[in-house]
Each structure stands twice: as C-alpha cells, then as structure tokens.
Amino acid sequence: MKSLAKVCVAAGFLAAAAGLLVLPQFAASPAQQMTGMDHSAQATDEPTPAFHAKPPQDALPPTMEASLFTDIQTFNAYVVASRIKKVLYQQPCYCHCDRSQGHGSLLDCFVSRHGSGCDICQKEDFYAYEQTHKGKTPTQIREGIMRGDWQKVDTAKFAKNYLPPQNAPAK
C-alpha cells in the first residue's frame, strides 16, 4: 500500500511540474499573436505597443546583418529593415515584444534576432517598406499598422528572390 501512495505522490509532482512548464506559454501577453492565428481584429481595449512619435535625434543602432539568415524571406526582412530604420523606429510592433522583450519600437525587432522568428514583425516591416516607397510618412504608416493593414501584406513575393544589398547596382 505504501508503494501505491508513493507512486500517486510522484505522479502528482510530475503533473504539477508539467503544468508549470506549460504555464509560461499562456502567461504571456494576452494579446500575443501566434503564427497561423487570425489577427484580423486588434483588440480595441488593448493599448498600442511602444513606438517613438518623432524621428530619431541620434544615430540608430545597426540592424543585424541579413546574410546571417539563410531563409530568403528572413534575409529580405533584415535587408528591408536596414533601409528604413528611421521609419521602423516610429512604428509599434503588434507582437507586443515591448512587453515581453522591452522593445521600444519595431526597429528593435531587427536590431536583434527577434524579427527572424516572428511573422508579425516581418509583415509590419514589409508593410512599412512598401508604404515608404508609395510616399507615405511614418505617421501615415503607423496609422495603417494600427488599423491592421500590415496583415494584408503578401510575404510570398519577399520569399522568392533575394533583395540586392542597398549599395549594389541594380540588375
């Protein structure tokens, strides 16, 4: 009988330990969005993630070198980020890495490796790049990001061919 009680206690401890391993996954930001989920409606009561309302006054940190990433889309996300750092500095990131990682804007996602594994960061990055090339201001781009327009970005075109480095001649 004592051995049955020991087995039950051990099973209880194992179940509690397993529960503690799973808990942090669900204790993250309630608005955290994961790959494959429907991100179509931003929570209206959810505060806007961190961003800078004005252009930077000082030099910005470099983004991570795109050549560190073998995946074409990720490579391109970092190339794009390096080209529009001042714009990304003024954008919020709706994966809420401001809470989980202390980021101050979307630019921080590409100064670190975070942007390499986050589809939200990459879509917002590509959205900002496309809108910049359409002549939109950082404020207009931010309004679009806050509306969720970044969710409509077709990342397939960024996953096909490597973008040339900024200083390379166009082919």
Query: Tens digits of per-residue pLDDT, 136-161?
Result: 999 999 999 999 999 999 999 999 98
The pLDDT of residue 163 is 85
By three-state DSSP, how is residue 15 classified?
Answer: helix
Angle at CA of residue 148, ends 163 and 42, nearest 5°: 140
Would you say 125 and 119 are in contact if contact means Cβ atoms under 8 Å apart?
no
Dump the DSSP string for 103-147: -SSTHHHHHSSGGGG-HHHHHHHHHHHHHHHTT--HHHHHHHHHH
Q: State the sign of the Cα–Cα–Cα–Cα dihedral 100, 105, 109, 111.
A: negative
Per-residue pLDDT tens over the stretch 55-73? 999 999 999 999 999 999 9
- Higher pLDDT residue, 45 or 167? 45
The pLDDT of residue 43 is 45
Give residue 153's region: left, alpha or beta (phi > 0; psi -120 to 50): beta
For residue 94, pLDDT beyond 60 = yes
User: What's the rounded Cα separation, in Å, for the pair 168 and 171?
Assistant: 9
For residue 34, pLDDT beyond 90 = no
Would you say 121 and 106 are in contact if contact means Cβ atoms under 8 Å apart?
yes
For residue 38, pLDDT beyond 50 = no
In the chain, what percentage of residues exceed pLDDT 70? 71
In eight-state DSSP terms, residue 1 is: -
Tokens coding 89:
């500095």
For residue 86, pLDDT beyond 90 = yes
The pLDDT of residue 31 is 37
